[in-house]
Amino acid sequence: MRRLLSAWLLLMLVLVVAACSGQDSSGTVTPRAVSDRTAAAAFTLPNLREGKDDISLVDYRGRPLLINFWAHWCGPCVEEMPALAEFAREHPDIAVLGIAASGDPAADRDFAESTGVGFDLASDRSGDILGHYGISGLPGTVLVDRQGRVVNTIFGPLTSADLAQLATTLRSS
């Protein structure tokens, strides 16, 4: 009986996470209808790369944007980072911004440099922007259309296959 209850609870948890992730049961991201999209929360954050100007949401207006929230100590974030770096190289028409939410910019910078990340990186030391986007765990990804509106939010790590599908979603939004 306990096993059955445990299995049932686990199944419910998986279904809730999938429902909240912005993905349907097939793993496909369903973009919000244009009329249901809200403006992405504005921000200006310190550039994680030393000596570079701050990064603002308005810098990306007119381009589809994938914002990925991560931290150097987050195992799933570390696992997905190479796929994000490859995605950014293969899809130059889509802006990619990594926002480190660890509070340790030096460690985040070292990690990003060691993995060859070439996309823009910002630091959200306070976690305020993370909260404005409703990200409650890492990694989290927010898709933003050309007009600066949130297309969808995905919770959890992304694979190369997931990212390829997100490219289609972003281009069509």
* pLDDT tens sequence across 128-148: 999 999 999 999 999 999 999
Q: Rounded to two decimals, what is the model's pTM? A: 0.82
pLDDT of 162 strictly over 90:
yes
CA angle 64, 68, 73 (to 5 degrees): 165
Q: Is the pLDDT of residue 154 over 70?
A: yes
- d(CA 166, CA 31) in angstroms, rounded, equals 10
pLDDT at 5 over 80: no
- Could you tell me the fold of the domain covering 2-172? Glutaredoxin (3.40.30)
Looking at per-residue confidence, does 44 or 2 come out higher?
Answer: 44
Q: In the prediction, which pLDDT does 7 show?
A: 36
Looking at residue 25, what is its pLDDT?
A: 36
Examine the pLDDT at 151 and tell me if it is beyond 50. yes
**For position 54, what pLDDT does the model report?**
96
149: which strand partners? 39
Question: What are the boundaries of each domain within the chain?
Answer: 2-172
- Exposure class string for 49-76: b at 16+ Cβ within 10 A, else e: beeeeebebeebeeebbbbbbbbbebee
CA atoms within a 13 Å half-sphere pointing along the CA-CB vector of 128:
9
Percent with pLDDT over 70 in the chain: 83
Q: What is the pLDDT of residues 89-119, one digit of tens each?
A: 999 999 999 999 988 999 999 999 898 899 9
Higher pLDDT, 15 or 48: 48
Q: What is the pLDDT of residue 30?
A: 77
Summary mean pLDDT of the chain: 84
